[in-house]
Structure 1
Amino acid sequence: MNHGETAYGLWSLVALNSTVFILFAFSFFKPATARDWRSFGAFSAFIVALFVEMYGFPLTIYLMSGWLATRFPGLDLLTHDSGHLWSTLLGETGDPHFGVLHIASYVFLGYGFYLLSSAWHVLYHAQRQHSLATTGPYARVRHPQYLAFVLILLGFLLQWPTLLTLLMFPVLLVMYRRLAITEEKNMHKQFGETYDAYAQSIPRFIPRLGKARLTADAEPKK
């Protein structure tokens, strides 16, 4: 079989892309505690694993090569397009970069990084004022930064699924949930009934339809 231009063994691209996305997320998340570093470290491991398979060594393609060759005869497994497994499995034709799932992945990624940035801006000012963050994205969900990470991870999974990142994703979901619960306990100790009122009004991760309303006890004091 004559292969097209291979997209693998490009370790400089692995390092470059991993560094760019990790530093970009770091600039907004600003991990400070050991808990923050654990969650950010897990996110970083996901990013590295993703780009290693995207540009370095296609472990998922290698492990599935026998089945893929049987199911899709004539498929050139060493091209970049073949790495977009959702497109291949769904039988899509043409450039996978213009597929519905790939375009959806950009929506998830773009909104995820936007939410991460917006949440950090609100949290930064709240911490400087020693107050509870209840405005911006915090008026819709209690943990917008963790939600942002989940959206980013989903975006990457829609764009380039791998066995390792698919296995890591539910582990990260459990980790973020546990971290959120721990963070809520700390907020209760710090803000008491004010935080309890806020938590009763605002959902943890999934925003309600319509505009959430804070109770009077959870409104920021002026």
Structure 2
Amino acid sequence: MTHADYGYGLWGLALVNAAVFILFAFSFFKPATKRDWRSLGAFSAFIIALFAEMYGFPLTIFVLSGWLQSYFPAVDWWSHDAGHLLEMMFGWRVNPHYGPFHIASFVLIGVGYWLISVAWTALHLSQRKHQLALTGIYARIRHPQYVGFILVMLGFLLQWPTLLTLAMFPVLVVMYIRLARHEEKEALASFGEVYRDYMARVPGFIPNLTIHSRRRRPWRSFDGNG
């Protein structure tokens, strides 16, 4: 590209950003099983696809350039800021980094990483006590780490939507739900009525903020809580 404000082709920056966010997730998630690595791998593929377009080559802008230029002629679509598509399309022209979608994305990403972190902490403490994780964040939602990954991806979609990540997102959500269902089958086989009662009290993916933790007898550890 010879465009004066062309803000792409920064593959080193794309690599560094992707590595930072993947390592950040790794440090919080701490994968231990094949299922954990599969979850992190799918998330990593999403992050790599995102930053490849954010700093490398703007495939989405290229594919949609004709339509975007027709409906939004005032926008310089080859500048880097224009990659914040939602801000541009809804008329936020000052600085997209302070736009409503960008701010909302940071909230979702922050909450997502927080969920991944506190879930791992609760799960680790439960395993050390040889108990099933039923307290802390797990007293309000059964699969906080998977929800955390979904929130992080949703946040990035608000910040920098691309055709590839939009296509990947529902596939990854379905994958995380299937992984969660598989883990629940294993938990039911191992813990029977204890886990069945837990499932009846605690929602899987939408936290119930009114639930109060109840003290439980110690049970064998189970490391499959997503």
TM-score by length of 2: 0.91
Output the amino acid matched with 2:94: G
Distance between the aligned counterparts of 2:28 and 2:73, measured in 1?
45
Contact 2:142 2:204 in 1 (8 A): yes
Matches within 5 A, 1:5-84: 5-84=5-84
Q: Which moved more, 1:100-109 or 1:129-138?
A: 129-138
For the aligned residues, what is the CA RMSD?
1.5
Structure 1's unaligned 5+ residue stretches are: none
Distance between the aligned counterparts of 1:161 and 1:204, measured in 2?
27
Question: 1:44 deviation in Å?
Answer: 0.4
> Any runs of at least 4 consecutive aligned residues in structure 1 with deviations exceeding 3 A, and if so which?
2-5
Question: 1:190 deviation in Å?
Answer: 2.3
Output the amino acid matched with 2:113: F
Matches within 5 A, 1:1-222: 3-208=3-208, 210-213=209-212, 219-221=215-217
Identity %: 58
CA deviation vs aligned residue, 1:74-122 (integer Å, no higher than 9, x gap): 4222211110000111122211111111101110011111111100000
Structure 2's unaligned 5+ residue stretches are: 219-226
Distance between the aligned counterparts of 1:134 and 1:7, measured in 2?
48
Q: Which moved more, 1:46-55 or 1:84-93?
A: 84-93
Output the amino acid matched with 1:220: R
Distance between the aligned counterparts of 1:191 and 1:22, measured in 2?
33
Contact 1:147 1:205 in 2 (8 A): yes
Output the amino acid matched with 1:136: G
Q: Which moved more, 1:25-34 or 1:158-167?
A: 25-34
TM-score by length of 1: 0.93
Output the amino acid matched with 2:210: K
Question: 1:177 deviation in Å?
Answer: 0.5
Give the secondary-structure state (helix, strand or coil) at the position aligned to 1:221: coil
Question: 1:181 deviation in Å?
Answer: 0.4
CA deviation vs aligned residue, 1:14-62 (integer Å, no higher than 9, x gap): 1101101001101121222222222211110000000000000000000
Question: 1:63 deviation in Å?
Answer: 0.2
Distance between the aligned counterparts of 2:135 and 2:107, measured in 1?
23
Task: Determine the structure 1 residue equivalent to 2:222.
Answer: none
Question: 1:172 deviation in Å?
Answer: 0.8
Contact 1:3 1:76 in 2 (8 A): no
Output the amino acid matched with 1:173: V
